[in-house]
Chain A
Amino acid sequence: SQTIHQWPATLVQPVGSPLSLECTVEGTSNPNLYWYRQAAGRGLQLLFYSVGIGQISSEVPQNLSASRPQDRQFILSSKKLLLSDSGFYLCAWKDRTYEQYFGPGTRLTVT
Chain B
Amino acid sequence: AQRVTQPEKLLSVFKGAPVELKCNYSYSGSPELFWYVQYSRQRLQLLLRHISRESIKGFTADLNKGETSFHLKKPFAQEEDSAMYYCALSAFSGSARQLTFGSGTQLTVLP
Residues of A within 8 A of B (CB): 32, 34, 36, 41-46, 49, 51, 55, 57, 59, 90, 94, 98-105
Contacts and interface: CB of A to CB of B under 8 A. Distances in A.
B68 interface: no
A43 B98 contact: no
A100 B43 CA distance: 12
Range, interface on chain B: 20 to 34
A86 to B, nearest CB: 18
Interface stretch (B11-19, B59-67, B72-80, B99-107): B99-107
**Chain A at the B interface: SS class:** strand
A51 B96 contact: yes
A99 B46 contact: yes
A42 to B, nearest CB: 6
B9 interface: yes
B23 to A, nearest CB: 12
A98 B34 contact: yes
B43 A102 contact: yes
Contacts of A104: 43
